[in-house]
Amino acid sequence: MEYTRLGNTGLKVSRLVLGTMNFGAQNTEEESFAIMDRALELGINFFDTANIYGMEINPKGHKGWSEEIIGRWFAKGEGRREKVVLATKFYLDMDNELDGPNDAAGLSAYKLYRSLDASLKRLQTDHVELYQMHHIDPKINWDEIYGAFETMIASGKIYYAGSSNFGARHLAYAKAAADKRNFLGLVSEQHRYNLLSRLPELELLPAAKELGVGVVVWSPLQRGLLANDVLNPAIKTGRRAESIAKLSEIEKHQLVDYRELCQALGESESNIALAWLLANPAVTAPIIGPRTVEQLEEAVRATEIVLSEATLNRLDEIFPGPGGAAPEAYGW
């Protein structure tokens, strides 16, 4: 496994992040434990979760279930917690976990303190390495939220602050506010980016690179559309089927061409999609969400793939991006 630094920090993280959104929602606790154990064996030390994970799809699921599963896995000991760079998030409501109207989606010092303590309890740990705001709050008060982050960092409950689903301008606002306070500020931004969703190349990626913010990519396979054999007519149920049903004719032709390119390269569609992200110097690591140990093991192959310039050019032909960074992409 290869490792890189998270943004401008000295923290070293694996080039693949283990996403845990399926834990509880689709994976049983036993399956989740096996995936995490194998991830450590493969050298993946960066695990990502969120306080709300665990409620999706599974009708018996509940928010916080994924964190609870991770906590019980940590409790098994044998150095599990010490080997993991753990990231979790807060922002959305947690079904009355907080008091009254303060449980609604949003950001505040109140919510940060309370949400963090609740997550630490579920995770059975006294700290998280990276605590992320799950979404931007347009009414955010940077002095308030940074004051809370600074307090929690000083207490040892958080090591670094991060964001998710922020725009380029929000990263700039955050940097300016942090500099004013002589605070490290945001070290990472978790963002959707993939071959089918390249708009971040206009503003987000250039801004993050210039500001020293590491980009952690969610949905690197665009809800399974860039996964293996996606056009197989036998796929009739689940999230992939829902995504396939919404494909335009242009996108279907793109995926046919993509499948042919991957076949010529002798690599799976999912691994070429991951390798393409890993080739971008602005990307720290994509988040993978394997349903099985076998899928996890297959994904590690992506870190070994080196895409030639010809292949990168062909991918640009199949999946045209916005033309580079703004304003050059459209200004002249």
**Any idea which residues carry the catalytic annotation?**
53
Amino acid at 96: N
- What whole-number distance in Å separates Cα of residue 34 and Cα of residue 219? 22
Please name which of 116, 122, 190 lies closest in space to residue 153, comparing C-alpha atoms.
116
What is the secondary structure of 287-324 as a DSSP string?
Answer: EE--SSHHHHHHHGGGGG----HHHHHHHHHHS--SSS
Please name which of 194, 126, 114, 188 lies closest in space to residue 155, comparing C-alpha atoms.
126
Residue 124 and residue 131 in contact, taking contact as beta carbons nearer than 8 Å: no
- Which residues are CB-neighbours of 326 under 8 A, at least 6 positions away? 202, 203, 206
Residue 244 and residue 231 in contact, taking contact as beta carbons nearer than 8 Å: yes
